[in-house]
Every structure is written in C-alpha cells, then in structure tokens.
Amino acid sequence: MPNAKRARHKEARRQKVEQERRQAKRQRLIRRIGVSIAVAVAVVGSILLIKGNLSTPLVSTTTVATSSTTTSTTTSVSTTSAPAAVSQIEADALARQAGCPSSTSARANNLHWANAPAMTIKTSKKYYADVVTTAGTFTISLDAVNAPKTTNNFVYLANHEYFHCIIFHRAIPGFMVQTGDPTGTGSGGPGYSFADELPTGPYPLYSVAMANAGPGTNGSQFFIVTGANGQSLADSYSRFGQVTTGQATIVKLDAAGNADPASNGQPPLVTHRIISVTIRTN
C-alpha cells in the first residue's frame, strides 16, 4: 500500500509539472507572436477610405445583409499613424505557430450549443478582454452594466476558446472590421441567438458591437467601429465594449480591409485571425 500511495503522489506531481509546462509553452508562443508582429514590415498597399453610399448597415451573422447579399458587421479603424503592415504570408505563419489551420478558409471550430449561456458574470465587476491577433494585440473594456447579456455571452465564448483561429472575414476601411464566425463565411455562429441590448446614441470610434441579421439574432459575430461610416450607424446593434488599448492594431485591421464597394468588405486584402481572447476582471 505505501508503494501504491507513493505512485499516486508521483503521478499527481507529474501531471502538475506537465500542466505547468503546457502553460509556459503557450505564454512563450504568445510572446513570440507579439515580437514577430512588431518586426513585420511588409507593405500591403494603399487603401482608400470609403466616403460614401454605405449608409445601409452591414448585418452580421446568420443569413443575409440588410441589402440582400451576405451578413456583416461593422468595425472601426483608428485614424492615428498606422504601424507597418503584415502580409498574408506573415499572418498565416503567425496563425500556424498558434496551432491554426494552414488555410484561412478552413473552419476554426465545431463548437455548438442549443441555448444561450446562463448568466454567470456579475454586473458589479469590471471585465476586460485581452485579444491577440495576427495583426497585433488590443484590449476591450466590456460593458457589463449596460449590456449584461451580451457581455456574459462574449465572456462565455472566450472562456471556451471559441474565438481561437477565427478570421476577420469582413473589413471595410473607415467603417468597420468584423469577426466571430467559426466558418469564416459571415453566416456561422454558436447555434443559438439572444435578445438585443441596444444603445442610445452613436457608436464611438473603436466601440465593439454585435453583428446581427435582424432583431434578436445575436450570436458570436461582432464588429469594431473604425471610422466615420461606422460611427453613424443606426442604434440597431448591441454595443458591449470599447477598445481601450492597442488601437494601432485596429488601424492595421482596418488598413487590410477591402475598399471596393462591390466587395462588401469581403474578403479583406489581408485576412487576419484571432489567436486568443483572455478575460480578466478587477
């Protein structure tokens, strides 16, 4: 019996060491990605800002956009000086280092739920999402007070690593960047939908909101407002956060967008991916 007890203790120690080793490896990978992005100097090309005829909101997820084509969301891009661009080859290399599929058209995951998650967050707490992408990193300050259901949903999906390897499938310079669809097509989601928590007033630059295909169709797709066209959207999208640090990364994502009006922002000139979303509170 003493030998069996020692064996169990030994196995427990081995498992603990292995878990710590995996965590350390993941942290090293994220640091390497950050360094690689910082030194990337490839030029994507000149991108013109969209300055007109985009008053129709681009709907995000399940079926079609408000016009008649595919769904979409709007994301914003900062107007400060942009850092060096990352080419598609560099973006794909960074994604593969993080364990993503080689192709940006490959499905990121098959996670699926029948119902929206139960409420687990506390509105008395402040929640932040640290987002690592192939274009760089940024932090979203989540609005649990004014959008508790939407924040709870985002936290739930992030904690289940739902966003790992998901692409930014749609980006219109000066308007928005959109992500959150594991299929990368603009028509996918987590298998459920939940009610709106609509704001009053405009969408500030770098605000984060849910994409939808009409009232009460929120799922997992969201967008970040990157310019004036996004700021002028009607209050039809549940706003649940604000990018507070790393706006230069949003500038990169915006600059990689597709400015051709006929493209509806798809595909971007460079298709970036989310590497991880980590939730923290204070």
116: Cβ–Cβ under 8 A, 6 or more apart, which residues? Answer: 149, 153, 192, 193, 194
40-281 placed in CATH 2.70.150.10 = no
- pLDDT, position 201: 86
Q: What digits encode the pLDDT tens for the residues 226-282?
A: 999 999 999 999 999 999 999 999 999 999 999 999 999 999 999 999 999 999 999
Q: Report the percent of the chain where pLDDT is more than 90.
A: 69
Q: What digits encode the pLDDT tens for the residues 61-87?
A: 332 232 223 333 333 333 334 456 789
CA–CA separation, 240 vs 78, rounded Å? 19
What stretches of the chain adopt beta strand conformation (E)?
A: 127-133, 136-142, 170-172, 176-179, 207-210, 222-225, 239-245, 274-281
Q: What digits encode the pLDDT tens for the residues 18-56?
A: 666 656 655 555 555 554 444 343 323 322 222 222 223
Confidence band of 17 (pLDDT split at 50, 70, 90) = low
CA–CA separation, 177 vs 250, rounded Å? 8
Q: How far is CA 94 from the centre of its chain?
A: 16
Supply 179's token pair.
Answer: 């992500």
Average pLDDT over residues 111-120: 98
Domain residue ranges in the chain: 40-281
Confidence band of 210 (pLDDT split at 50, 70, 90) = very high
